[in-house]
Structure 1
Amino acid sequence: MINQDKTNKSLPDVSESYWLNSVSMRSFPKLNKDINVDVVIVGGGITGVTTAYLLAKSGLKIALLESDKLLNGTTGHTTAKITAQHGLIYHQLIKDIGIEQAMLYYQANFEALNFIRETIAHFEIDCEYSQQDAWVYAVTKKDQEKVEQEAKAYNQLGIKGTLVDSIPLDLAVNNALIMKDQAQFHPLKYLEQLVEQVTEMGGKIFEETTAVDIKKGQQPVVLTRDQAKVTANHVIVCSHFPFYEGLGLYSAKMYAERSYAIVAKVNKQIPAGLFISAANPTRSLRKIAINGEEMALIVGENHKTGQGIDTIKHYHALESFGQTILGIDSIKYRWSAQDLTTLDQIPYIGRITSGNPNVLIATGYRKWGITNGTAATLLITDLVNGKKNKYEELFKPARFNPIPSLKNLVVQNANVVEHLVKGKLQLSQIDPKTLSSDQGAIISIDGKRKGAYKDDQGKLHLIDTTCTHLGCEVEWNSGERTWDCPCHGSRFSYTGDVVEGPAEKPLKKYDYNLHYS
């Protein structure tokens, strides 16, 4: 079946993040020789950049490696909410890991919020920072009860919150829970200042430099795709999915989800605040200023990567929501993002294993990477500098919290097996010659499953649909023009090149003329 929908002309043709479009980030060279540093950081998102800043500030010689362009990944596609209200999580955390550990999770994210606020004030960064209240609201009786449970958890943890029965949106709700004094900002305008600080302190930043492995030792060595090596006392893996898993088996311990965003010019006034629904599919809303004009940033429609409906329809669903409550005049931007969730909903931050103490990771932020990513930075900086940190055990990558983890491990891996088998059995009778421009589909060549995409110039691109990670079959993502793996979240361009891991190798390409003439 061809997964393409062009019936709604109000959506921009191209997926493009406003955050990335609105700034001109400085470029950095590719690493082309072996170097030695105190710390090498892999991954140029909020965690990598902030960690580079803090470690350089502490006097260490650092190198930051980014496989693409700085801040071009999940950080450049965020909602940019600075908040410890991560949906409905605290009641569940108390059930799963106890009050003391749930309190630590809140404190870590609250401290991250304060760090961002203080850093902005210290450098006088013009990044559209504003203090906001965060609201999670219920529109059903079932979700009303969940919000009430969350309010009780707030009370148990001493979180400043208020339970109310209405919100300042044209939306009937059963109740809502407010977390006071949270914030929003322009994440790239904030982080580009930290990038400048890193370079001024002598830090080395390299783009288009893909790390592929780590050679363990007293001084671990990061190996890159183009053979250049970085030797360091510590390696910090802040890439979206850890390029180096060691014995962590993170492919089995996390799952990838995509979510969608639109920026819309609307007809009604947008209230102050950070709003998110208690129900799925998620609806998240905040205002955003573009060239002095207030617009609505509407986010949601999360699903496991490679397992959504025709992906363009997720944008239509957000548009319908926005039209109902605010009246949409036009849509200026649309984009999607991917994030990873761990078995117990808590990020993996710290030493990858006790036997490999100089390799650290930070991943699994569950879509709340602005504060979780900053909390990761504060923890990792302490560990590298040999300081004690009270959050080390909570976020330790080698932990195993049995109550949530056993159940989720079984569920997630059963889902992987289901899609592995389903993909192998799925064949298609579509003739690639019938594809229109800018359409992709699953086809068959000599009875074998392949993928085809016809570009705007009429050229057909054929790929083998078997993911190079663990062999699942990828699916076409019409909204982003990518091939997405439903098992572990790897994504590939329409030409088969890796867009997101854990896959490291591209999909096999085929010459159309050799198979169809």
Structure 2
Amino acid sequence: MNSQSNGKLPEHPEPFWRTSVDFPTFPSLNESLEVDVIVVGAGITGITSAYLLANEGLKVAVIEADKVLNGTTGHTTAKITAQHDLIYDEFIQNMGRSTARLYYEANMEALAFIKKTVEEHQIDCEFTNVDAYIYSVSDKYEEKIKKEADAYARLQIEGGLVDDFPFDIDVNNVLVMKNQAQFHVTKYLVHLIDLIKEKGGQIFEDTVAVNIKTGEKPVVLTRNEKRITAKHVLICTHFPFYEGTGLYSTRMYADRSYALAVKAKKEFPSGIFISADEPTRSLRSIMDNGEELVLIVGENHKTGQSQVETMEHYKALEQFGEELFGLEKIVNRWSAQDLVTLDKLPYIGEITSGNPNILIATGFRKWGMSNGTAAALLFRDMVTGKESKFEKLYTPSRFYAHPSLKNFLVQNANVVGQLIKGKLNSPKTNPDDLAKGEGAVVTLDGHRKGAYRDDDGKIHIVDTTCTHIGCEVEWNSGDRTWDCPCHGSRFKFTGEVIEGPAEKPLQKYDYTMMDNLTSEDSGY
């Protein structure tokens, strides 16, 4: 375990959900195959979809570019709730009461499905029913919470304003949603993986999907030139590797947040909690071999657009935890990002109109436990030809003039601004001045490059131009990655893609102390 004493953050980020479970391993796909359904992406949406469709008697295969459960799902808070910040009053205003109610029902049905599955298969994943709380510490958000409470009443959501709050925080008001839940997400999904295998489902890791050949039976093409033919393709990747004509990179933005798993001096009360005010503070308890830990999450910002060094976000969470609980040790730290759509509803369904055999799920806005499960349940119905009352709710082809048009203009203006800003930036840092574990944007031979000195002292040089649309990436010191401020692509310090929409790595260079800069083969 990656634990540290109080006052010292772990050197390397590592999510709790990845350190507390033994994960199965799978081979890469080394031959072409044909199945009923190919699932691309092995997070909660992909694994749940494969489990459901294998139960329907379909021949299912899952491919994952990295390792199973190592993406957004492995970096979650693992709250299972329909309380997704202050959202229901906004949905009523922008989309109507029936749409807002449907969203609540979809997420509550997802929660009920997880609970039923845990009970049916006796999955030891610490599933616990708890109430969910959102609180305000400012007058502005006090009024917003009052409006949200009114929305709960209009939508017949079980909950409302409450007087009691179990933390030493000076709150203005508190809103509760009753009968929500939390669990250990990777313990749950590893068990589903076993059930998929028992049903004959196939899973392949280190298998990168790069394109789809459309048709009556679409074909997924992989980087190693293998072909997977299927009746249906489910795109369950964080950002869709294939956009069709959906233009998803212009209809979503990436938002990052940070997490600490800590041993607190004070006992944690029952419930899951989040602040309405910013910077966000999200709290829940987790169990680690019988020891209670507290998960502290927050400090969100658009990917690549932090106003401070990223380690400062972790330090802010540490200070908050110390003041609220007193910290005995910090066990894990990690960060995560998710995609936000124009209207804050996920895109789930046909990737573009008229493509019923290529389905997509993306834009969960950091609430992927319920939304990802809801997506899998909808996929099951769509693949098997059953009607679902949620299909229209989530359809990617929807368009609400307000707020979609406004947000489309705002987000894409932000992209243009970031593109121009990066091109005008002329850093002067010399790579030779970097300490071990330090990275920075530098100028070499008059060109903007990215430099990082690893723990062995070797300097790695990459081109800072993102391979998606050409924005300039920024150094993320907390995670030692290069992050794009335009559409959220992320790259290892060696240039390889971590998260899309970028598909190609950053160009790498060979750096010597003689200022000799030559391009290396980046694999393309």
TM-score (norm. length: structure 1): 0.98
Q: Which of these residues, 260, 263, 266, is aligned with residue 261 of structure 2?
A: 263
Name 1:3's counterpart in structure 2. Answer: none
Equivalent residue, structure 1, for 2:478: 479
**Which whole-Å deviations, capped at 9, do the CAs of 1:424-475 have from their partners, x for residues lacking one?**
0111111111111000000011211100000011100000000000100000
Give the letter aligned to residue 252 of structure 2.
Answer: M
Q: Which residue of 2 aligns with 1:195?
A: 193
Amino acid at match of 2:498: V
Distance 1:461 1:42 in 2: 31
> Which amino acid in structure 2 is aligned with residue 443 of structure 1?
V
Determine if contact 1:166/1:175 at 8 Å carries over to the other structure.
Answer: no
C-alpha displacement at 1:9, in angstroms?
A: 5.5
* 8 A contact 2:13–2:335 mirrored in 1: yes
Counterpart residue identity of residue 76, structure 1: G
Structure 2 residue 413 is matched with structure 1 residue 414: yes
SS at match of 1:100: helix
1: CA distance, partners of 2:181 / 2:373: 14
Task: Report the 3-state secondary structure (helix = DSSP H, G, I; strand = E; otherwise coil) of the residue aligned with 1:38.
Answer: strand
| CA drift at 1:515 | 6.8
Q: Of 156, 159, 163, which aligns to 1:158? A: 156
| Residue type at the aligned position of 2:160 | T
Distance between the aligned counterparts of 2:338 and 2:426, measured in 1? 30
Deviations 1:213-271 (A, max 9, x none): 00011100000000011000010100000000000000000000111000111111111
Matched, 1:242 2:240: yes
Distance 2:68 2:155 in 1: 37
Using the aligned pairs only, state the percent identity: 60
> SS of the residue aligned with 2:442?
strand
Q: Cα–Cα, structure 1 residues 111 and 276, in superposed 2: closer, same or farther, change >3 Å?
A: same
Any idea what SS the aligned residue of 2:512 has? Answer: helix
Cα 1:389–1:161, aligned 2, differ >3 Å: closer, same or farther?
same
Q: Match for residue 323 of structure 2?
A: 324
Aligned residue pairs total: 510
CA distance in 1, matches of 2:7, 2:387: 55
Is residue 398 of structure 1 aligned with residue 410 of structure 2? no
Task: Quote the residue 1:29 is aligned against.
Answer: 27
Structure 2: how far apart are the matches of 1:414 and 1:81? Answer: 33
Q: Which runs of 5+ in 1 are unaligned?
A: 1-7
Residues 292-319 of structure 1: CA deviation (Å, up to 9, x unaligned): 1111100011110001121111001111
In the alignment, the residues of structure 1 paired with residue 446 and residue 417 of structure 2 have an alpha-carbon distance, to the nearest angstrom, of 22
Number of the residue aligned with 1:369: 368
> Where do residues 1-400 of structure 1 align in structure 2 (5 Å cutoff)?
10-308=8-306, 309-400=308-399
Post-superposition CA distance 1:116-174 (Å, at most 9, x none): 00000000000011111000001111111111100000000000002023410111101
Equivalence for 1:4: none
State the secondary structure of the residue aligned to 1:232.
strand
Question: Counterpart amino acid of 1:67?
Answer: A
Give how far 1:510 is off: 0.6
For the residue of structure 2 that corresponds to 1:423, the secondary structure is helix
Aligned letter for 2:100?
A
Q: 1:184 corresponds to which letter in structure 2?
A: Q
Q: Tell me the distance in 2 between the aligned counterparts of 1:480 and 1:108.
A: 34
The AA in structure 2 aligned to 1:286 is: R
Distance 1:399 1:141 in 2: 35
**Is the 1:452–1:462 Cα contact (8 Å) retained in structure 2?**
yes
CA deviation vs aligned residue, 1:186-234 (integer Å, no higher than 9, x gap): 0010011110111100001000000000001110000000001100001
Distance in 1, Cα, partners of 2:118 & 2:108: 16
AA aligned to 1:42 is: V
The corresponding residue for 1:5 is none
Runs of at least 4 residues off by over 4 Å: none
Residue type matched to 1:359 in 2?
I
AA aligned to 1:81 is K
2:136 aligned partner, one-letter code: A
Instruction: Find the aligned partners of 1:462 and 1:192 in 2 and give their Cα distance.
Output: 38
Distance 2:510 2:236 in 1: 36
What per-residue deviation string (whole Å, max 9, x for no partner) do you get for residues 376-416 of structure 1? 00111100001110011110011111111011001100100
Return the alpha-carbon distance in structure 2 between the equivalents of residues 88 and 140 of structure 1: 14
Q: What is the DSSP-based 3-state SS (H/G/I as helix, E as strand, rest coil) of the residue aligned with 1:457?
A: coil
Q: Tell me, in whole angstroms, the C-alpha distance in 2 between the residues paired with 1:515 and 1:489.
A: 34
CA distance in 2, matches of 1:302, 1:219: 41
Root-mean-square deviation (CA, aligned residues, Å) is: 1.0
What's the offset of the Cα at 1:355?
Answer: 2.1
Q: Is contact 2:152–2:160 with CA below 8 Å preserved after alignment? A: no
Aligned-partner Cα distance in 2 for 1:291–1:27: 23
**Following TM superposition, by how much is the alpha carbon of 1:514 offset from its aligned partner in structure 2, in angstroms?**
8.6
2-side partners of 1:332 and 1:362: how far apart? 32
How far residue 29 of structure 1 moved from its aligned partner, in angstroms, is 0.7
> Measured at CA, do residues 129 and 227 of structure 1 come closer, stay the same or move farther in structure 2, by a change above 3 Å?
same
Q: Is the 8 A contact 2:153 2:160 kept in 1?
A: no
Answering whether residue 497 of structure 2 is matched by residue 494 of structure 1, we say no
* Distance (whole Å) between structure 2 residues aligned to residue 231 and residue 40 of structure 1: 8
Paired letter, 1:91:
D
Judged with a 3 Å threshold, the aligned counterparts in structure 2 of structure 1 residues 511 and 388 are, in CA distance, closer, same or farther, namely same
SS in structure 1 at match of 2:98: helix
Shift of 1:272: 1.1
Cα distance between partner residues in 2 of 1:215 and 1:515: 48
Larger mean CA deviation between 458-467 and 328-337 belongs to 328-337
**One-letter amino acid of the counterpart of residue 324, structure 1:** E
| 1:300-342 CA-partner distances (Å, limit 9, x unpaired) | 1111000112111100111111111111122110000110000
Query: 1:14 is matched by which residue type in structure 2?
Result: H
